[in-house]
Amino acid sequence: MNAPDRAGIRPAADIDMSSWWMPFTANRQFKARPRIISGAKGMYYYTPEGREVIDASAGLWCVNAGHGRQEITDAVSRQLAELDYAPGFNMGHPLAFQFASRLVEVAPAGFDKVFFTNSGSESVDTALKIALAYHRARGEGHRTRLIGRERGYHGVGFGGMSVGGMVANRRMFANSLLPHVDHLPHTHDPSRNAFSRGLPEHGGIEFADALERLVALHGDTIAAVIVEPVACSTGALVPPRGYMERLRAICDRHGILLIFDEVITGFGRLGTPFASQYFGVEPDLFTTAKGITNGAVPLGAVFMKGAIHDALMTGPEAMIELFHGYTYSGHPVACAAGLATLDIYQREKLLTRGASLEKEWEDALHSLRDCPNVVDIRNLGIIGAIELAPREGGEVSRAYEAMVGLFEAGVLMRYTGDTLALSPPLILESEHIGRIVDTTRKVLSGIS
Ligand code: PXG
């Protein structure tokens, strides 16, 4: 594929960067040495100078069908011309209903209700609220406690931040987090599981047993447990084999809802449409966003079992059943993008393509094991992580340095702490895997 037309694109040096306070970015460091992207097509980003950068992170884990898909562009522009916005409160428009029905068709059986949001953070807060409302509607209003997990990331709303377990995200707001929240231990155990391929085999199921201890401590006040099937933002922490089953069993034993946060793992990332299918373990609700529109338009959705929804449909018919929603829930343009995205996913079989690439991906990543400072490599589906050792004195800077070096060498990769995280678009081919791994080897070899 050719680079997009560069006419009218200004060189990075011309951009006034003073006004935009960038999210989750060291603003001063970035603006002193910016990395700008101004175009994208297929597997590649392009810089204003016309440099090609292979996208090894699907944007921020969202561009699963690759960049610049014409079908999505056409659907969005058609929809903007036909119906740019429609209220979703007490009014409907065809696309939101149609998209919800299509989503339910690709979801695992039984997840036949969908609530639309605009982001992963909103999906998480929505799922937590639905869980609370569900228990209340069934006469179990004492179930108010929410359980997350250390090193989890569930977005930046007060709910998601509270159940989240990223220390830096919580510290600044520590006195304003939700009450009645507790956490399970994370599942990362490099002493037993470093360089595991796929699901770690060497133990760790007992991390799930911590939920029994929380039940003993909190009694029947727990409403829901929320976990990411793979904790991606803190470095792709893959749970050990059997862990998910154990968590499900304990939730069942104690009447606790299990929520999977599939904002990243949804829509084919693990080689199955949703992670619950990869693990063979069903949650009661699951959250999505990102890949739902191929990242083209903000949209999120919470999927739930019919029984969760139905429990709230018991009051007077003239009463609002859930006092919750967003101005842009079911936005027509987002739904148009989502429908076009689903068409692509289904036609190109992208929701299961990862399964056929998983082994090649795994072998390629693990070939980096002998690079300097590599202390762990992890993978699942088309996710990968390369963890580097901290520098002497504990300084955590190697992965950042690698990310900068990789971008300059033509590969976009995420980093968190000492870990590089990989999640390329699911259209990737062997040549892309080779290029990503070869460049990574070169860059890592140059970092002391
Ligand atoms: N849940 C999960 C599991 C996520 O990964 C969110 C919720 C929040 O989604 P929104 O759309 O509100 O951002 C996320 C987001 C990274 C990275 O580099 C990860 C996310 C976002 C940005 C960067 O790992 N995940």
For each of the domains in the chain, give its residue range(s) and CATH number, in order of start: 12-65+350-445 (3.90.1150.10), 71-347 (3.40.640.10)
Cross-strand partners of 300: 117
Name the amino acid, one letter, at 181: V
Supply angle C-alpha 370, 373, 377, rounded to 5.
60
Q: Are strands 52-55 and 411-412 parallel, antiparallel or unpaired?
A: parallel
Token duo for residue 45: 């980003």
User: From the alpha carbon of 264, which atom of ligand 1 is closest?
Assistant: 5
Pocket test for ligand 1, best of 22, 122, 162, 264 (most atoms within 8 A of CB): 264
Pocket test for ligand 1, best of 25, 290, 294 (most atoms within 8 A of CB): 290
Q: Tens-of-pLDDT digits for all 448 residues of the chain?
A: 445 555 445 566 789 999 999 999 999 999 999 999 999 999 999 999 999 999 999 999 999 999 999 999 999 999 999 999 999 999 999 999 999 999 999 999 999 999 999 999 999 999 999 999 999 999 999 999 999 999 999 999 999 999 999 999 999 999 999 999 999 999 999 999 999 999 999 889 999 999 999 999 999 999 999 999 999 999 999 999 999 999 999 999 999 999 999 999 999 999 999 999 999 999 999 999 999 999 999 999 999 999 999 999 999 999 999 999 999 999 999 999 999 999 999 999 999 999 999 999 999 999 999 999 999 999 999 999 999 999 999 999 999 999 999 999 999 999 999 999 999 999 999 999 999 999 999 999 999 9
pTM of the model: 0.97
* 58 CA from centroid of ligand 1 (Å): 13
Task: Identify the pLDDT of residue 202.
Answer: 84
Pocket test for ligand 1, best of 117, 151, 233, 270 (most atoms within 8 A of CB): 233
Task: Identify the pLDDT of residue 2.
Answer: 46
Name the amino acid, one letter, at 258: L
Name which residue sits closest to atom 24 of ligand 1, judged by CA: 233
Contact 258, 211 (CB under 8 A): no
Name which residue sits closest to atom 22 of ligand 1, judged by CA: 60
Give me the sheet containing 39-41, strands edge to edge: 39-41, 44-46, 52-55, 411-412
* 328 CA from centroid of ligand 1 (Å): 19
User: From the alpha carbon of 231, which atom of ligand 1 is closest?
Assistant: 3
* 232 CA from centroid of ligand 1 (Å): 8
Name the amino acid, one letter, at 169: N
Name the amino acid, one letter, at 375: V
Contact 131, 163 (CB under 8 A): no
Contact 241, 197 (CB under 8 A): no
* 119 CA from centroid of ligand 1 (Å): 9
Residue carrying structure tokens 């000492």: 418
Rounded Cα distance, 345 and 366, in Å? 28
Task: Identify the pLDDT of residue 203.
Answer: 82
* 236 CA from centroid of ligand 1 (Å): 12
Rounded Cα distance, 104 and 64, in Å? 19
Task: Identify the pLDDT of residue 5.
Answer: 53
Contact 127, 135 (CB under 8 A): no
